[in-house]
Amino acid sequence: MTLTVSFTINGAPVSTAVHPETVLADVIRDEFQLVGCKVGCDQAVCGACTVLVDRIPMAACSTFAFEAEGRDIVTIEGLARPDGTLSAVQRAFLDVQGFQCGFCTGGLILLVTALLERDPDPDRATITDWLGSAVCRCTGYLAIIEAVETAARLNREVAA
C-alpha cells in the first residue's frame, strides 16, 4: 500500500508516494537527495535528523512521511539564501567553529534557528534547554553555545 503526500520542501511544492511506515528522513534523503538530513540514532534522541516542519524542529527519523501532508518542510539545504548568503546561524557556526565532524551540525543549526525565532535573545539556561534535543559527541558543547550566542548577536546587528 502506498499513500501520496504533498508538502513543500525548501519552498518547492512536491508530491510523492510513500509506504505508510516510511519516515520523513528517508523521503528527504532518498527521494529528494537532501542528504544534509543525517540519521544518527534513528530514535528521536540525537537530533542529527532535525528538520523544520512549519518552523517547528522535528526529528525526521521518527516522523512519518504522511505527517508532512500540507506542511512546510525546511532542511539544512534550504537555509542559505539562493545567492548563497548564509543565515546568521550558519554564519555563526562557521565563524566560531561550532562543529568538528559536522554530523550533528545541520540538525543543530535548524534547531537553533527555531529557538532564535521564538526567543531572539535566549539566556544560557534556555539555550541548554533547547540543546537538550540534540547530542554532539565531538565538541563538548562550548563552541555550540558560543555559536548560538553569536547568532543571536548577528541577528540583532542585522535588525539594528
Partner 1 sequence: MSLLLPSNRIHPALPSHPEPPQQGGHAKVTGAARYAFDAALPGMLHAKVLRSPHPHARIRGIDTAKAAALPGVVAIVTGADARALALPTYGFTIQDQPVIAIDKVRHVGEAVVAVAARDERTALAALALVDVDYDPLPALPDPAAALAPGAPLLFEEPQPGFALPVGAGSTSRKEPAPNVLYEYTYTRGGVDAALDRADHVFTDSFAFSAINHYHLEPHVNVARFEDGRLELWSSNQDPFMLRADLSRIFGMPDTDIRVHTPLIGGGFGGKSYCKMEPLVALIAQKARRPVRLALTLDESILTLTKHAAELTLTTAVGADGRLLARRADIVLDGGAYCDASVMVALKTGFRIAGAYHWDALDVRSRVVRTTKVPAGSFRGFGGTQASYASECQMDMIAHRLGIDPYDLRVMNFLGPDEPFAPGDSAIDSDLKGGLDEVCTRLGYRAPKKAGHGFGLAVGIKDGGGTGNHAGAIVKVSQSGRITVLAATAEIGQGAGTTLCSIAADVLGLDAADARYGAIDTDVTPLNNGTHVSCGTVVTGSAVAEAAASVREEILAFAAEQLQCAPADLALEGWAVRRNGALHPLEPMVRGYYGGQGFAFTAYGHVKVPYDDGAPLRSQNLFWMPCWTGAEVSVDRETGRVTVHRLVVGSDAGRIISRRACEGQVAGAAIQAYGQAMFESLRYTPALQPENATPWTYRVAQAADLPEHFEVFVTEHMRGPGPGGLKGIGEAGMLSIAAAIGNAIEDATGVRVNAMPFSPEAVLAALDAADPA
Q: Which stretch binds ligand FES (CB under 6 A): 56-64, 78-86, 113-121, 124-132?
A: 56-64
Q: Is 64 in the site for partner 1 (CB under 8 A)?
A: no
124: number of Cβ within 10 Å = 10
**What sign results for the dihedral spanned by CA atoms 43, 49, 54, 55?**
positive
132 binds, among partner 1, ligand FES, none (CB under 5 to 8 A by kind): partner 1
Q: Is 50 in the site for partner 1 (CB under 8 A)?
A: no
Binder of ligand FES out of 104, 110, 127, 147 (CB under 6 A): 104
Cβ proximity of 63 and 24 under 8 Å: yes
> What Rg value do the Cα atoms of the chain yield, rounded?
16
Binder of ligand FES out of 3, 14, 35, 44 (CB under 6 A): 44
Quote the cell numbers at residue 125. Answer: 539556561
Cβ-based nearer residue to partner 1, 66 or 141: 141
Quote the cell numbers at residue 73. Answer: 518542510
59 binds, among ligand FES, partner 1, none (CB under 5 to 8 A by kind): ligand FES
Binder of ligand FES out of 136, 148, 151, 152 (CB under 6 A): 136
Cβ-based nearer residue to partner 1, 46 or 53: 46
- In 32-154, the DSSP E strands lie at 50-53, 56-59, 72-74
Q: Is 97 in the site for partner 1 (CB under 8 A)?
A: yes
Cβ proximity of 50 and 107 under 8 Å: yes
Instruction: Give the dihedral of Cα atoms 7, 73, 82, 97; nearest 10 deg.
Output: -160
Residues that bind partner 1 (CB under 8 A): 19, 34-43, 45-46, 48, 75-77, 79-80, 86, 90, 93-94, 96-97, 99-106, 109, 127-129, 131-132, 134-145
